[in-house]
Chains A and B, each alone.
Chain A
Amino acid sequence: MSVPVQASEAADYAIEVEDLAIRYHGKPALSDVTLQAPRHEIFGIIGPANSGKTSFLRAINRMDLMTAGMEVSGSVRVEGRDVRGWRNPYALRRRIGVVFPLPVGLPLSIYDNVALSSLLRGTRKKAELDVIVERCLRRAALWDEVKDRLDSLGSLLSGGQQQRLTIARALSQDPSILLLDEFSIAVDPVTTMRIEEVLSELKSEMTIVLVTNLVQQARRLASQTAFFLTGELVEVTETEAMFEGGAKDPRTTAYVEGKFG
């Protein structure tokens, strides 16, 4: 998958990765990844555990800055700019929403969880914040369940609710890119379906990278899907083709058919 990126095409991709390699304390976790994620689409990443999926996400929003021993080489461009060229990496992160596998309801009120990123950016007007909080909670399919108790602690919600709160918080950043790392691990199937619907709507506004261990979830949502295996990018293919026997690599076919992993 080393397609050279032409300058004219660059704008059509939200994320362009070239020769990306990631090591932790010198041990390779991911190597030789080259791919492009088109704007306003859901880009799926599947693969068994330890295949480097999470490391890939961590390189996009520059988590290597705060992870001891994590080294990134190659280039990761977000909206046409190399992420390591940012003078203010915090500003980069504000444009990228991240949802981790396990829900993280911050020990703040539900309201403050969602209002936090706006507060950090200096929005102080209650009316504005109210609008943001309600909009984001509604989009994360949580509003109806919590609208009467916005003052209670976000960390006390149930697992599935906390994950939706996490998503609402990521949306409140108004990101241009949303990275989801196995978001459904701690969420029940019904809630998962509701969130999936939300994601389908969201792609009109942002590019979504969906790392998932549920191959069917990638099939339902992603337009293109990358298959990672033990630190290697096996292939990137149109999702439908990948699941209809059109995968380029027999390992991919075996994985999506559930023969291993």
Chain B
Amino acid sequence: MPELAQAADRRDAAWWIDRMVQILVLAGGLSAIVFIAGIFVFITREGAGFVFDRFDFREFFGSPRWTPTSSHNPTYGALALIAGTASVTGLAMVVSVPFSLGAAIYIGEFATGRVRETLKVLVELLAAIPSVVWGFIGLSIMNPLIIRVFDVPVGLNVLNAGVILGLMAAPIMTTIAEDALKAVPDTYREAAEAMGATRWQVTFRVVLPAARNGLVAATLLGVGRGFGETMAVLMASGHSINLPTSPFDSVRALTATIAAELGETAAGSDHYGALFALGIFLFLVTFAINFAADVFVRGGQRKHRRRGRRPAASANP
């Protein structure tokens, strides 16, 4: 018998293919990390000169005065830009979270058959609308609408950009949230239904808690999307430097500033470096948001798993 086992223990073609594929996918995974790191290194390098020589922490985060083109005293206060991005993103979340969660719950838990399939396709279609089209809607439809309804002089403001951004982020959030609901095993629903729970009670008491992590992740990814969105915000926000005190103030976003000004600067100048400093800040915030979303998604998966996660272990002793 040992001889038989000995003969069976060959590193056959399947074993070698397995090895090669493991190396290949490892390379694929590493390349993703390399690209992300490369991007970070690039924007850090471009911004480094400014960050180390000219950067004033208190000015950058404390002053709303962004006057990089001033000939005698250029200032680089990003507070107004950060406030612009934050206010627009915040309003966008207020708009999109209820819409997307509602849509996800309807599609995932209440709608059936044809209605459900149609809605899913439509939501995915909405997610594919280019951001410049959203910006166009903000500029040509929302703008006059806001002026007329609220009787304000300018319709390109936090309200406009927030609503546009919210509508933009909602389809993606809906899709991810619906995936989170779909990942809840049907046995949970059946067990609750068998107790006489209504559709809504099942959803509220059983499905939503089970899917909580996925739903939080969906929201965070929506925040990340809003934070990084450029074109629609540039077009709908009014693009004027302001610390907003009401939704009807025009603001300027971090991303829009980079997009609008980078082409006008001399490479290596303070202004150029300052824009890259904005980029580093954006990168870090977006990274933090995505990281948080990832942590939540993982938390959700662990809950429904009976045994430990399978590591990407080689079968080699």
Partner of A81 from the list B9, B14, B307, B311 (CB cut-off 8 Å) is B9
Question: Considering the chains assembled together, what is the distance between the CA atoms of A39 and B4 in angstroms?
Answer: 14
* Neighbouring B residues of A251 by C-beta, 8 Å: none
Partner of B11 from the list A14, A68, A78, A88 (CB cut-off 8 Å) is A88
Question: Considering the chains assembled together, what is the distance between the CA atoms of A70 and B309 in angstroms?
Answer: 11
Question: Considering the chains assembled together, what is the distance between the CA atoms of A89 and B315 in angstroms?
Answer: 7
Partner of B18 from the list A85, A87, A90, A95 (CB cut-off 8 Å) is A90
Q: Does chain A have a CB within 8 A of B308?
A: yes
A16 to chain B, nearest CB (A): 11
Contact between A66 and B310, CB atoms less than 8 A apart: yes
**Tally of chain A residues near chain B (CB < 8 A):** 30
Partner of A66 from the list B8, B9, B18, B311 (CB cut-off 8 Å) is B311
Question: Considering the chains assembled together, what is the distance between the CA atoms of A84 and B18 in angstroms?
Answer: 19
Question: Considering the chains assembled together, what is the distance between the CA atoms of A231 and B315 in angstroms?
Answer: 26
Partner of B5 from the list A65, A68, A81, A84 (CB cut-off 8 Å) is A81
B124 to chain A, nearest CB (A): 24
| Interface SS majority for chain B | loop
**Within residues 1 to 17 of chain A, which ones have a CB less than 8 A from any CB in chain B?**
10-11, 14
A160 to chain B, nearest CB (A): 18
* Neighbouring B residues of A91 by C-beta, 8 Å: 8-10, 12, 15
* With A90-B18, A91-B12 as contacts: A67 and B5 at CB distance below 8 Å: no
Q: Does chain A have a CB within 8 A of B1?
A: yes
Q: Does chain A have a CB within 8 A of B115?
A: no
Question: Considering the chains assembled together, what is the distance between the CA atoms of A202 and B145 in angstroms?
Answer: 79
* Neighbouring A residues of B8 by C-beta, 8 Å: 91-92, 94-95
Q: Does chain A have a CB within 8 A of B317?
A: yes
Q: Does chain A have a CB within 8 A of B245?
A: no
Contact between A11 and B308, CB atoms less than 8 A apart: no
* Neighbouring A residues of B309 by C-beta, 8 Å: 68
Chain A CB within 10 Å, residue with most, of B11, B18, B310, B317: B317
Residue of B nearest to A78 (CB): B5
Q: Does chain A have a CB within 8 A of B313?
A: yes
**Within residues 117 to 170 of chain A, which ones have a CB less than 8 A from any CB in chain B?**
120-122
Question: Considering the chains assembled together, what is the distance between the CA atoms of A68 and B306 in angstroms?
Answer: 12
**Within residues 42 to 93 of chain A, which ones have a CB less than 8 A from any CB in chain B?**
65-70, 78-81, 84-92
Contact between A67 and B307, CB atoms less than 8 A apart: yes
* Neighbouring A residues of B29 by C-beta, 8 Å: none
Q: Does chain B have a CB within 8 A of A243?
A: no
Q: Does chain A have a CB within 8 A of B153?
A: no
Question: Considering the chains assembled together, what is the distance between the CA atoms of A35 and B5 in angstroms?
Answer: 20
B254 to chain A, nearest CB (A): 40
* With A86-B317, A88-B15 as contacts: A24 and B308 at CB distance below 8 Å: yes
How many contacts between A and B, using CB within 8 angstroms? 67
* Neighbouring B residues of A92 by C-beta, 8 Å: 8-9
Question: Considering the chains assembled together, what is the distance between the CA atoms of A92 and B310 in angstroms?
Answer: 20
Partner of A89 from the list B2, B13, B311, B317 (CB cut-off 8 Å) is B317
Contact between A80 and B311, CB atoms less than 8 A apart: no
Question: Considering the chains assembled together, what is the distance between the CA atoms of A68 and B307 in angstroms?
Answer: 9
Contact between B317 and A84, CB atoms less than 8 A apart: yes
Question: Considering the chains assembled together, what is the distance between the CA atoms of A135 and B13 in angstroms?
Answer: 27
Q: Does chain A have a CB within 8 A of B6?
A: yes
Contact between A68 and B9, CB atoms less than 8 A apart: no
Residue of B nearest to A95 (CB): B8
Question: Considering the chains assembled together, what is the distance between the CA atoms of A66 and B308 in angstroms?
Answer: 9
* Neighbouring B residues of A11 by C-beta, 8 Å: 1-2
* Neighbouring A residues of B313 by C-beta, 8 Å: 65-66
B70 to chain A, nearest CB (A): 58
* Neighbouring B residues of A95 by C-beta, 8 Å: 5, 8
**Within residues 108 to 167 of chain B, which ones have a CB less than 8 A from any CB in chain A?**
none
Chain B CB within 10 Å, residue with most, of A14, A89, A121: A89
**Within residues 154 to 206 of chain B, which ones have a CB less than 8 A from any CB in chain A?**
none
* Neighbouring B residues of A39 by C-beta, 8 Å: 1
Question: Considering the chains assembled together, what is the distance between the CA atoms of A87 and B316 in angstroms?
Answer: 7
Partner of B310 from the list A68, A79, A85 (CB cut-off 8 Å) is A68
Partner of B15 from the list A24, A25, A90 (CB cut-off 8 Å) is A90
Question: Considering the chains assembled together, what is the distance between the CA atoms of A95 and B4 in angstroms?
Answer: 11
Question: Considering the chains assembled together, what is the distance between the CA atoms of A26 and B39 in angstroms?
Answer: 40
Question: Considering the chains assembled together, what is the distance between the CA atoms of A93 and B317 in angstroms?
Answer: 14
20 A–B contacts from the bound complex (CB under 8 Å): A14-B1, A25-B308, A65-B313, A65-B315, A66-B313, A66-B315, A67-B308, A68-B310, A68-B311, A69-B308, A79-B1, A79-B4, A86-B9, A86-B317, A87-B11, A89-B317, A90-B14, A90-B315, A92-B9, A120-B14
Q: For the A-B complex with A81-B9, A95-B5 known, give 8 more contacts whose Cβ atoms are closer than 8 Å.
A: A25-B308, A66-B313, A66-B315, A67-B307, A68-B308, A81-B5, A84-B317, A86-B9
A interface residues with partner B (beta carbon < 8 Å):
10-11, 14, 24-25, 39, 65-70, 78-81, 84-92, 94-95, 120-122
B interface residues with partner A (beta carbon < 8 Å):
1-2, 4-6, 8-15, 18, 307-311, 313, 315-317
